[in-house]
Structure 1
Amino acid sequence: MSSAPLVHRFGLRAAAAGALVLSLALAGCSGGAGGSTVSSAPAAKPSLAFTGPNGEKPGALSELALTSAEQAKVKAGNYTAAFVWHTTSDLVNAVEKSARAEFQKLGIKVVASTQANFNAATQANNLQTVLALHPSIIVTIAVDPTSAAKAFQPAVAAGTKLVIMTTPPAGYTAGKEFVSIVTENLTEAGRDDAEILGDALGKQGEVGYLSFNANFWFTNQRDKAFKDWLAYEYPKMSIVDSEGFADENATQTIAAAMIAKHPDMKGIYVSWATAAQGVLAAIKASGRTDIKLVTNDLDTTLGAAMVSGNNVAGMVGNGSVGVGKGLALASAYGVLGKTAPALVASDPAKVTKSNLDQGWKADYGTKPPSSVTGG
């Protein structure tokens, strides 16, 4: 939802504009500084609770629903929508496809879709271009929440309904500047990551940890959940190196150094899939067939590597079809003036080689493409 992260990739390329912040979901940097995090004391059982950027408590996607009369009213409204994304990825494409399908059912016309390559200035320019089309609705993830607070103010002033996938502009609150946040269950996703990697390594071994080096609520909580559940469920596993990245294009260099420094390391966690591509390249370049990788968001590059090789243990899907539908339904709430839940979350899913077809279908609504399966 990268992650993202999403941030998530929930996601996920450098984010600029001063104090860099992100995810796109799916978009985290919990423990992003270098060093070792090995604990000898038994870990306490982690909580599965998580909160939104303003302390919102998540509800289920099923809380978003329209009556027949409400649907008819939306259809009669001639509303339009635009997507102002943070980046492009398999996750973003899947979410948008699902949202578009629901918009079509509701009679809402999509007039634009933009992506910013994780650049806040580019997103601000994209927003100005989109606003010239006077959309009724904008679906977005803020690249940099701090600068986005000013950049998105013209949309708020124009009465455009903002619906957020993971990360709103800083200081914006549900029911005021935006309608709702629609994302994945972050703590469940982090636990799924830990279980995929733990099971792949036989419940023991040294692990590396790469997280997005920013204060980003979405990815921070998912990453922390991975650490907490790994420590709790797999006491014979230890994180021996934690590194942060500001640019997902830098992850190959970071991972290469990590692998060289820790020859006994057998697993690596990365915040989201597009950042994990560089880590996979580093693992392959090292010739290490024994290092297993886990990350968030389903990705064709990683999926193909999982099918054909040994280095990708699995990926955690965001429930993208549900997130996309939820974003569209929340948009309808906005144009109707109906109060939406401040935060709703989909259920993530563990996807490994053994359940690839089922997991891909559940997350993206389709079978994995031939580029993944080799068929």
Structure 2
Amino acid sequence: MRKRLLPLLGSLMLLTAPVIAKTGGETDFVGALAEAAKAADIAIDASQKDSLKALELTAAMAWHGASPWISAVNRGAKEEFERYGVKVLVTTDAQYDPAKQVADIENIQALAPDMLLSLVIDGISAKVGLQKAVDSGSQLVLLSNPIPGFIHGQDYAGIVSDDMQGMGKLAAQAVNQHLQGKGKIGVIFHDVNYFVTNTRDQAFLKALDDYPAIEVVARKGFVKEQDTSAIASAMMLRHPDIDVIYVAWDAAAEGVVEALRGDGFEQVKVVSHDLGVNNLLDMAQRGNMLASVADRPYEIGATMARIAMLAELGEQAPLFTLVPFDLVTRDNIQDVWQQAYQADVPRIINLVLGD
């Protein structure tokens, strides 16, 4: 790896990173979201493209797991890198295991990539390996989750994410629209210190304050996705008058949909985040899945790649850069899927929708 000390190209940067307030010595990440940039504003011009190609850069990607969503993130980043002559050395899948991700990062460090993109499962355990990669010259760009103690502009170039607060608010709006302003809901939230899901869940609950006739009659946290089925069954046993259940994300919502179907609660609807085939099939069949708020993973990956490459040219990115999001219902499944994944809709969904 070549270390480069390039002058800051201030005249080329589209955005100036804001000064972010700190609380108790730590960055106020939730507050920083209000100052976030938009993904569409992160651009590489023709002269920068020529400079990047001349550098013959390399990149690596250390992901937390595997899913259609992360595949779209990975593809967006890889295709964006390829446009500027960057060689992707390796992509890793931690299988949602923090220890494996630590090992993945250590193995990546041996390859000495110029740039490293990652969604980190556990920032504490991954911090040492990431710090070594940064100290050896890798430009680090994070997906959604900050690393405790890392300094923006010094230890990492920026964080790309969905608009967590906006997504939580839109999920609440979907619940309100379905209930026409009055009803009872259950909330199954992510009970782990995980920035992106915590922020979305909290934004959802806060947004419900605007709908005083909608009552949260049950709240229960989960750690593992497979626990949500039992949680939903127990919740409905105690509160059979629940109208809607909110679940932190799509894969966790699968168990809730399964439990509701198995227990005979066909009328109870589910609202969540992200796009997964199983829940979209249920939605297409007019089952329990009512709506989901989806970000755009392909655009997340492409934006991460652009921020990393601009950092190689000495550009400073904002702390947060956010991609747009969409409310997906039965009526727009196909359009939102194509927008989010930049790929064809799975054939089975088209078949169920009658196309």
TM tier, shorter chain? 0.7 to 0.9
**2:313 is equivalent to residue 336 of structure 1:** yes
Matches of residues 119-268 of structure 1 in structure 2 within 5 Å?
119-232=97-210, 234-268=211-245
Letter in 2 for 1:100: K
The whole-number CA distance in structure 2 between the counterparts of 1:64 and 1:193 is 27
Retained in 2: the 8 A contact 1:197–1:292?
A: no
- Deviation of the 1:133 alpha carbon: 2.1
Kindly indicate whether the alpha-carbon contact (under 8 Å) linking 1:89 and 1:274 is maintained by their aligned counterparts in 2. Answer: no
CA shift, 1:63, in A, is 2.8
After TM superposition, the structure 1 stretch with the greater mean CA deviation from structure 2, 219-228 or 198-207, is 198-207
Establish whether residue 78 from structure 1 lines up as the match of residue 52 from structure 2. no
1:294 paired residue number: 271
Q: Structure 2 CA distance, aligned partners of 1:347 and 1:331? A: 20
Cα displacement string for residues 139-174 of structure 1 (whole angstroms, at most 9, x for unaligned residues): 101111122222322211211111111013211122
Quickly say closer, same or farther: Cα 1:53–1:136, change in 2 above 3 A. Answer: farther
TM-score scaled by structure 1? Answer: 0.82
Unmatched segments (≥5 aa) in structure 1: 1-50
On the 8 A contact 2:184/2:217 being kept in 1, the answer is yes
The one-letter code sitting in structure 2 at the alignment partner of 1:163 is: V
Aligned counterparts of 1:83 and 1:294: Cα–Cα separation in 2? 31
Confirm whether residue 67 of structure 1 aligns to residue 60 of structure 2. no
Aligned length: 325
Does the 8 A contact of 2:270 with 2:290 survive in 1? Answer: yes
| Shift in Å, 1:318 | 0.8
Report deviation, 1:89.
1.9
Contact 2:190–2:201 (CA<8 Å) still a contact in 1? no
Give, in angstroms, the shift of residue 54 of structure 1: 8.2
| Mapped contact 2:112–2:133 kept (Cα < 8 A) | no
SS class of match (1:169): coil
Following the alignment from structure 1 to structure 2, what is the Cα–Cα distance between the partners of residues 323 and 52?
Answer: 18
- State the alpha-carbon separation in 2 of the partners of residues 116 and 210 from structure 1: 25
The answer to whether the 8 A contact 1:201-1:292 is kept is no
Corresponding residue for residue 77 of structure 2: 99
Residue identity in the other structure for 2:251 = T
> Residues of 2 paired with 1:89 and 1:52: CA distance?
26
Q: Is the 8 A contact 2:32 2:320 kept in 1?
A: no
Q: How many Å apart are 1:268 and its aligned residue?
A: 0.8
Equivalent AA in structure 1 for residue 335 of structure 2: Q
| Paired amino acid for 1:106 | Y
Give the drift of 1:251.
Answer: 1.4
Q: 1:185, 1:346 within 8 Å by CA — same for their partners in 2?
A: yes
Provide the residue aligned with 2:249 in structure 1.
272
What is the RMSD computed on CA atoms of the aligned residues? 1.8
Aligned residue for 1:42? none
CA separation in 2, counterparts of 1:199 and 1:310? 17
Query: 3-state SS of the aligned residue for 2:216?
Result: strand
For 2:243, what is the secondary structure of its paired residue? strand
Determine the structure 2 residue equivalent to 1:363.
Answer: 340
Deviation for aligned residue 1:123: 0.5
Deviation at residue 330 of structure 1 after TM alignment: 0.5
Q: Which has the higher contact order (CA 8 A, sep 6+)?
A: 1
CA distance in 1, matches of 2:82, 2:207: 40
The structural deviation recorded for 1:127 is 1.1
Are the counterparts in 2 of residues 231 and 238 from structure 1 also a CA contact under 8 Å? no
- For 2:128 and 2:333, how far apart are their aligned partners in 1? 42
Residue in structure 2 matching 1:345, options 310, 317, 322: 322
Question: Deviations along 1:264-308, whole A, 9 cap, x unmatched?
Answer: 011111111111112112112212111111111111111111101
Equivalent position SS for 1:195? helix
C-alpha distance in structure 2 between counterparts of 1:367 and 1:338, whole Å: 35
Structure number with higher helix proportion: 2
